[in-house]
Amino acid sequence: MIYKVSVNLRRKSYDIHIYNKISKNLSLSTIFLNNKNSVIITNNTINKVILTKKFFYIHDIIKNIPVFIIKDGECHKNLRVVEKIIYFLLDKTYSRDVTLIALGGGVIGDITGFVASIYQRGVNFFQIPTTLLAQVDASIGGKTGVNHKLGKNMIGSFWQPKGVFIDINFLLALPKVHIISGIAEIIKYAIIFDKKFFIWLEENLFKILNLQEKELLFCINKCCKFKAYVIKHDEKENNIRVFLNLGHSFAHAIETYTGYGKWLHGYAVSVGIVMAAYLSVQLHLLDENIFFRIVKLLYNAGLPIKGPKNMLPDEYLVLMLRDKKVLNKMMRLVIPVSLGKVQLISSVSESVLLDVIRKCQNKIYNF
């Protein structure tokens, strides 16, 4: 079964191809083998996976393409690594016709896209996402960047890939925690856009967690369509794209506080969604029964519903005020108001936010 989703951006349009095992006969091999100036950016973990027999079909496609390997982990998504990649490209005398290939999860996709956007004022790149989170979200839409010690993704650019190739077979090589992490972004899409999809997730969650092909392909295709629609109508986050930040203001605070990579992104997003939903309840915008359904779905996926025990409400607030979504020193937060509908708010007092965070951390659930 093969799906194709188009991201329509006029001259910057591209397709998302969704497979179970990319075949030599598909366009992926044509693109890469015919381009003698391709460079693969990946990490040491994925590089080892590609060398196993299970992924011989990938290895055969890319075996003659130069590879630049970085260390695995969010903590390596920084300007120091960007400089190393650029040094490699310059040292090998790659010019503006080089094509970069991001082979990995969100970290690899973000850093490769960022390098592509600034190397000799911009070169082409492709995404081959290998984690569930990257396949449903991070590889699509052209957000690129690296972290700063004072904030996540604070240095970056918008730079669209030339294509995205999603092979669900990569997910079989992932630790379970990374599958669970990706589920958070899937649930996020359902809360934002589609009540029926949320109900479908309630009924099919364990099939996705167990990587059953039919449900997994359907789910990834669904999320890619949501993302493609958003990008088409708001490429640079001036309007509806901001809705995709549901839970992310809280989540980025957790990731920055704990040190990048200590909390998986999806785990932090899960806690952020709970806090955003509870804020909506406290503002009398979200029915409490819907709140419990959201929390229960996250919990059933194996995701955390409370933040780090040692992180105080004041510490959330300090870091959230540094977030990219803050404008004119006013925090903007996305909150759910029903299943399939969210709202952007910007007039919540600090005392209300502190109270919401405190209550979320102390709340007892009976699932």
Binding site as annotated, residues? 72-77, 106-110, 130-131, 143, 152, 185, 248, 265
Q: What are phi and psi for residue 156, nearest 5 degrees? A: -175, -170
Q: Is 185 known to be catalytic?
A: yes
Q: Is 121 known to be catalytic?
A: yes
CA-angle at 335, arms to 303 and 310, nearest 5°: 45
Distance of alpha carbon 66 from alpha carbon 222, whole angstroms: 34
Q: Is 233 known to be catalytic?
A: no
Cα–Cα distances (Å) from 155 to 53, 118, 136, 148, in that order, read 38, 12, 23, 7
Q: Is 265 known to be catalytic?
A: yes
Beta bridge partners of 67: 40
Q: Is 248 known to be catalytic?
A: yes
Cα–Cα distances (Å) from 94 to 52, 64, 90, 265, 325, in that order, read 29, 16, 6, 33, 36
Annotated catalytic residue within 17, 143, 222, 325: 143
Q: Is 196 known to be catalytic?
A: no
**Are 247 and 273 a contacting pair, CB within 8 Å?**
yes
Instruction: Could you list the residues known to form a binding site for Zn(2+), using ranges.
Output: 185, 248, 265
Instruction: Choose among 133, 140, 187: nearest CA to 165.
Output: 140
Instruction: Choose among 142, 131, 214: nearest CA to 167.
Output: 131
Annotated catalytic residue within 17, 178, 188, 265: 265
Annotated catalytic residue within 17, 178, 188, 227: 227
Annotated catalytic residue within 178, 248, 325, 332: 248
Annotated catalytic residue within 252, 255, 325, 332: 252
Instruction: Choose among 367, 356, 185, 184: nearest CA to 275.
Output: 356
Place of tokens 């993302």: 227
Annotated catalytic residue within 17, 147, 185, 325: 185
Q: Is 252 known to be catalytic?
A: yes
Q: Is 227 known to be catalytic?
A: yes
Q: Is 237 known to be catalytic?
A: yes
Q: Is 306 known to be catalytic?
A: no
The tokens describing 180, both together, are: 């669970």
Annotated catalytic residue within 10, 53, 121, 176: 121
Instruction: Could you list the residues known to form a binding site for NAD(+), using ranges.
Output: 72-77, 106-110, 130-131, 143, 152
Q: Which residues are catalytic?
A: 121, 143, 185, 227, 237, 241, 245, 248, 252, 265
